[in-house]
Structure 1
Amino acid sequence: MAVEERDPHTGYMTTGHDWNGIKELNTPVPRPVYFFLIVTALFSVVYWVLMPAWPLGVTYTKGLLGIDQRNVVADSLKQAALERGVWTKRIEAGGFKEIQADPKLMEVVRQTGRTLFGDNCAACHGLNAQGGHGFPNLTTASWLWGGDPESIAETIRVGINSAHLQTRSSQMMAFGRDQLLKKDEVDNVVIYVRSLSDPAVAKQAPAARMDAGKAVFAANCVACHGDDAKGKADLGAPDLTDRFWIYGGDAESIANTVWGGRQGQMPSWEGRLPPLDRKILAVYLFDLRPGER
């Protein structure tokens, strides 16, 4: 039978168990542990009394404080709506320049606009709004239908070649496929168009072909792109003198465009986004351009 004894070093009694000369002490539980256990138990009782806690079939104990997390969330949403209403009313009533001149409103526009763009526009134009093949870069000053906030807002509203009755409509004709131009005329005008944005092409191309291409351009392209080839926002015709190309600015891409034509499409967002969201998006996109901040 195991015999208890007092450990001479700690003063605690042993349990009487011995393992290869190692004796087990009957060390008492520290008093702080009892203290925290008592506090925890008291806290539990108080919590059960004050807060919703115990299920009772189809209901539950409400607690003396009557706190309901659903009501807390509902109150938070109401408060958020009130706070949102302060700046939404200012944006709805203010003009574009007025909004842009207000740093606090622009902070809201940048935060909210980023979310709206990511949810609705990034699938085509990319998260950074720099577009891709067939989708324009929205961070530059090169806009088909005008890059001021008013024009951007209208484009968002009605779309481009969309089902909206007031949609912006534009189309690049298939000059080669529809036999409006001969193969050599297409080749010459491609060289000339490339030279408008790339001086190196102008230096390398034979003068005769440049002149021939310029003549083809004057006879077929200036009606939309203008005598200076800088495009016409009222027609949705792009500027051919900069380096921003929707379908690519290399010789093959431009040749494919001239030969087969292009007809981009953007859906109308009038039925998808409320006027406030479209207005925020317009200001946000304008703000993405270099030098606008």
Structure 2
Amino acid sequence: MSEKHVDELSGVETTGHEWDGIRELNNPMPRWWVWTFYATIVWAIGYAILYPSIPMIASATKGYLNFSSRAALQQDLDQAKTAQMKFHDMIAAKTVQEIDTDPKLREFAVAGGASAFKVNCAPCHGSGASGGPGFPNLNDDDWLWGGDLDSIQKTISHGIRFDADPDTHLSEMPAFGEMLDKTQIRQVAAYVWGLTNAPSDPALASAGKQVFMDNCAACHGEDAKGKFEVGAPNLADAIWLKGKGEDAIIRQVTAPKHGVMPAWSARLGDTTVKELTVFVHSLGGGK
């Protein structure tokens, strides 16, 4: 038997392994580390006996305690639903005005409405409710059908131009391309754009005022600030739903686009609609 090699500098035996002239010292592990390692082995064996841990072909071992994290999670969810039920019952029994004036109930409704908004409304209005071309921004103070609580609730409940709901909001802007000539359409577009911006041609805008009064004021109002009762937008602010600029106005006047919003009451129920109403109203643009 060959003698074990001893390192000259440390005086410690080596393991006999050598690589490129480098030898490994045979220092024993600290006792505390060894006992800790043994303890983890014992703990692992005990855990495997008591809890589900060893995977099988179609399931896993049940463990002596028959513990199930799924069952524990379901129990927690059931408890949370029970705790929430009283708030849901109160929301179902109250009007949106009563909900909005009750701090605790309003907080619960806003949280529930925010969750429902992300699932049902964000695909069109955006995750931050800022909208986009053809989809209204719910954070501003510009409303087609009114921004008070009752109006928002009605819009969410029955939708806009949603054929399946008899109480849906209905309004359509006529295709003035069939009524006005191109010069008149350019004139009224210059006038409308000139309400908030510098028109491309002041003379066109001046002539367009009369065209507007004769054809558009009935819905948008003589001051062009719109009318909630017919869903006519305010044209005297800097907020544009279908695109801004005289060219965009010309396209809308000539062949208007009409959006459709689903009626959510039948799908979500009155309680969730109330929560959505209070949430949308809370964004800052509600009146």
TM-score by length of 2: 0.83
Deviates more, 1:63-72 or 1:98-107: 98-107
Name the amino acid aligned to 1:287. S
Query: Aligned-pair RMSD on alpha carbons?
Result: 3.2
Name the amino acid aligned to 1:138. L
| Matches of 1:24 and 1:136, distance apart in 2 | 72
Check conservation: 1:174, 1:262, Cα contact below 8 A. Answer: no
Closer, same or farther: CA 48–131 of 1 in aligned 2, 3 Å = closer
Q: Kindly state the Cα deviation for residue 130 of structure 1 after the two structures are TM-superposed.
A: 2.1
| Matches of 2:273 and 2:14, distance apart in 1 | 79
Counterpart residue number, 1:46: 46
Correspondence 1:228 to 2:223: yes
| Matches of 2:249 and 2:42, distance apart in 1 | 79
Question: How many residue pairs are counted as aligned between the two chains?
Answer: 286
Counterpart residue number, 1:267: 262
Closer, same or farther: CA 226–14 of 1 in aligned 2, 3 Å = closer
Correspondence 1:171 to 2:185: no
Closer, same or farther: CA 97–167 of 1 in aligned 2, 3 Å = closer
Closer, same or farther: CA 251–13 of 1 in aligned 2, 3 Å = closer
Closer, same or farther: CA 212–64 of 1 in aligned 2, 3 Å = same
1:1-293 → structure 2 map (5 Å cutoff): 1-4=1-4, 25-53=25-53, 62-163=62-163, 164-176=165-177, 178=178, 180-198=179-197, 200-201=198-199, 205-206=202-203, 209-210=204-205, 212-290=207-285
Q: Kindly state the Cα deviation for residue 235 of structure 1 after the two structures are TM-superposed.
A: 0.9
| Matches of 1:218 and 1:127, distance apart in 2 | 39
| Matches of 1:201 and 1:59, distance apart in 2 | 72
Q: Kindly state the Cα deviation for residue 50 of structure 1 after the two structures are TM-superposed.
A: 2.9
Which structure 2 segments of 5+ residues have no match? none
Q: Kindly state the Cα deviation for residue 146 of structure 1 after the two structures are TM-superposed.
A: 0.9
Which structure 1 segments of 5+ residues have no match? none
| Matches of 1:214 and 1:87, distance apart in 2 | 53
> What secondary structure does 2:228 align onto?
coil
Identity level (%) = 40
Deviations 1:211-233 (A, max 9, x none): 54232222222221223322121
TM-score by length of 1: 0.82
Q: Kindly state the Cα deviation for residue 210 of structure 1 after the two structures are TM-superposed.
A: 4.8
Q: Kindly state the Cα deviation for residue 36 of structure 1 after the two structures are TM-superposed.
A: 1.2
| Matches of 1:95 and 1:117, distance apart in 2 | 20
| Matches of 2:8 and 2:261, distance apart in 1 | 89
Deviations 1:246-268 (A, max 9, x none): 11231111111112233222122
Name the amino acid aligned to 1:190. A
Closer, same or farther: CA 154–9 of 1 in aligned 2, 3 Å = same
Closer, same or farther: CA 14–135 of 1 in aligned 2, 3 Å = closer
Q: Kindly state the Cα deviation for residue 25 of structure 1 after the two structures are TM-superposed.
A: 4.6
Check conservation: 1:137, 1:244, Cα contact below 8 A. Answer: no
| Matches of 2:114 and 2:185, distance apart in 1 | 42
